[in-house]
Structure 1
Amino acid sequence: MKTLTADALAAARRYLLLNARLIDRLRCESLLDGAPPERVLAVLRGYQNADGGFGNALEPDLRGPESQPEPVEVAFWILDELDAFDDPMVTRACDHLLTVTAPDGGVPFVLPSVRTSPRAPWWETPDDPPGSLVPTASIAALLHKHKIEHPWLAPATGFAWAAIEKEDKPTPYTARAILHFLEHVPDRDRALGEFTRLREAILATVAFDPDAPGEVHFPLDFAPEPLTLPLFDQEVLDRHLDALIGQQGSDGGWAPNFPMWTPIVAHEWGGFITVARLGTLKAYGRLTS
């Protein structure tokens, strides 16, 4: 079993100092050194708008200041890793989600306001977008995980159940959102039933060859920390954890495997993903103590 060596960890820290945004540098300090979360939270507040939503390139491919649903998910994953769901940012964000929720109970993948600012070419939407499992299901999952009560959550949960029940061939991103939801939603019998039905369809979206090129989704993208749902066996996880250690770049970071459409996002995504990879290695006990 491989572990990330002290020298490799030092190289990752240096990579973050040279490339990463302040928020990701501070996330690393919290993750690896046990630094208090207050500085991360202070920086995260800078990405939250007056309307309670998040924007301002917290999701690096959305460069504008406008609030969008997906940056709420990004913010909530950061709050999750800090165990800081008692922060007032959560309620403010949920209040905002109420104002942009579609009639079907879900929030859209992206709102038409995206058209006013530079963004990656895949952020496109009709004028009146419907709710989407990405990011509705993942946002709801994290609220359920942390036992947050808010008027947005029940309709969003109902939307997610209805949309999941219609799925049989999800895309990788949708499969990941479904898995997040089924991992944390309170109705465990229903969650296990849907997981059993969809397990093979979810696995069909996974790249099991750790050397697979291009924009593919590996087991550790679905399980960045151990799951309770039985999606992967330990042999698969161990193989990909070994590979993840070997995929650290000569510069100390882990590179994105999806398109970089403007130069700055390579650095911003590189920092974000490097912290995420270190978090995965820590969650599975693969950092040298």
Structure 2
Amino acid sequence: MILPKSDFLKARDFILTNARMIERRLFEFHFVNGDMEGVFHAVYAYRNPDGGFGHGMEPDTASPESQPLFSIMALETLDEVGYLTKEMILNDFMPYFESITTEKGGIPWMFRPKSNYPCEEHFKTVKEWAALSTTAPLLGILEKYKIDIPWMKKAEQFVWSEFERIQDKHVFCYLCVPRWLTFLEHTKSRENAEKIIHSLKKWILNNGIIFEDKTDKGWGLYGKPHSLNYAHSSQSILYSLFTKETIESDLKELINRQKNDGRWDTWYGISEGTKLEWAGIQTLWVLKTLKNFNKIEKYI
């Protein structure tokens, strides 16, 4: 089963008329003309004078304040489109990350907002200590771009200790695991990395992490992941976990879940506007995943 051209165009139109500029530029990059400059400018619109990224780069908060997670998202997005460089990482990103590094050597996931801008309640109670799911991808990108700076030594010690500490506690989080894999793919410590990858595979398969009830509206959303959340292409490290039948079944279900207006929906959002923004994010993610598996009818 593939996504018909007519339904792809519906998804395109939904993104172009409802999504944020960053998703519109990413859609243009992946499906139209590969323009990296547009993505760069959309990402840097969220940048603050302190070098961090804020302004609701995740739509669950309207706060302009810089957040570690949003800064990681900016880094990942520029890497995704091939715009990132070693010099950009060192000059534009690392001063901010070094300024928020904790005594343990890692960077926090989020900070509680100091402003009274609208946000989801979980932002107001977030733990501000160092986190694996921000520190690991930062280290992974530093390794990928052949960067070697003193900051990395203690950060790497923190990451390995966190893998040991949390074990399987967060494998349900399909936003966290791919960020761990960025580090595990690029770290020079291959023996340690292979051990963790082996454990990850075991945890995902043995702990009932994969949510199989396709009648549930939350299937594929936070806390209810399917195979494609962990293996978004055949090149993914965790792709071998799943049978071809499982992948095909989940791709078919994804296609079937498209709404009449072209979107793929979520339950996220603190307003009607941010619900549309989240739908734009989800729709782009689905289209990229379908493209990775050659499941979109030729559209140009």
- Relative to the length of structure 1, the TM-score reads 0.89
* 1:254/1:274 contact within 8 Å kept: yes
* 1:182/1:195 contact within 8 Å kept: yes
Alpha-carbon spacing, 1:145–1:124, altered in 2? closer, same or farther (3 Å): farther
Alpha-carbon spacing, 1:77–1:224, altered in 2? closer, same or farther (3 Å): farther
Deviation at 1:199, TM superposition (A): 2.1
1:121-132 alignment, distance < 5 Å:
121-125=121-125, 129-132=128-131
Deviation at 1:191, TM superposition (A): 1.1
* Partner in structure 1 of residue 246 of structure 2: 236
* Partner in structure 2 of residue 103 of structure 1: 103
1:15-94 alignment, distance < 5 Å:
15-86=14-85, 89-91=88-90, 92-94=92-94
Rounded Cα–Cα distance in structure 2 between residues aligned with 1:164 and 1:33: 39
* Partner in structure 1 of residue 217 of structure 2: 213
Deviation at 1:270, TM superposition (A): 1.1
Deviation at 1:34, TM superposition (A): 2.5
Alpha-carbon spacing, 1:77–1:232, altered in 2? closer, same or farther (3 Å): farther
* 1:55/1:66 contact within 8 Å kept: yes
Deviation at 1:87, TM superposition (A): 7.4
Moved more, 87-96 or 71-80: 87-96
Q: Deviations over 1:65-90 (max 9, x none)?
A: 11001101221231122012217653
* 1:183/1:227 contact within 8 Å kept: no
* 2:112/2:123 contact within 8 Å kept: no
Given candidates 290, 296, 299, the residue that maps to 1:281 is 290
1:104-183 alignment, distance < 5 Å:
104-114=104-114, 116-125=116-125, 129-171=128-170, 172-173=172-173, 174-183=176-185
Rounded Cα–Cα distance in structure 2 between residues aligned with 1:85 and 1:187: 24
- Relative to the length of structure 2, the TM-score reads 0.86
1:260 aligns with 2:269: yes
Rounded Cα–Cα distance in structure 2 between residues aligned with 1:87 and 1:25: 26
Alpha-carbon spacing, 1:261–1:175, altered in 2? closer, same or farther (3 Å): same
Rounded Cα–Cα distance in structure 2 between residues aligned with 1:93 and 1:41: 14
* 1:164/1:178 contact within 8 Å kept: no
Structure 1 gap ranges (5+): none
Rounded Cα–Cα distance in structure 1 between residues aligned with 2:249 and 2:144: 28
* Residues matched between the structures, number: 286
* 1:26/1:40 contact within 8 Å kept: yes
Alpha-carbon spacing, 1:150–1:234, altered in 2? closer, same or farther (3 Å): farther
Alpha-carbon spacing, 1:85–1:238, altered in 2? closer, same or farther (3 Å): same
Q: Deviations over 1:87-143 (max 9, x none)?
A: 7653312220111111111111211345543211111346x8320123222333333
Deviation at 1:23, TM superposition (A): 1.6
Alpha-carbon spacing, 1:116–1:181, altered in 2? closer, same or farther (3 Å): farther
Deviation at 1:63, TM superposition (A): 1.3
Amino acid at match of 2:97: L
* 1:110/1:124 contact within 8 Å kept: no
Q: Deviations over 1:239-281 (max 9, x none)?
A: 211211111111101112x432322211111112211111111
Rounded Cα–Cα distance in structure 1 between residues aligned with 2:281 and 2:215: 21
* 2:107/2:135 contact within 8 Å kept: yes
Alpha-carbon spacing, 1:29–1:259, altered in 2? closer, same or farther (3 Å): closer
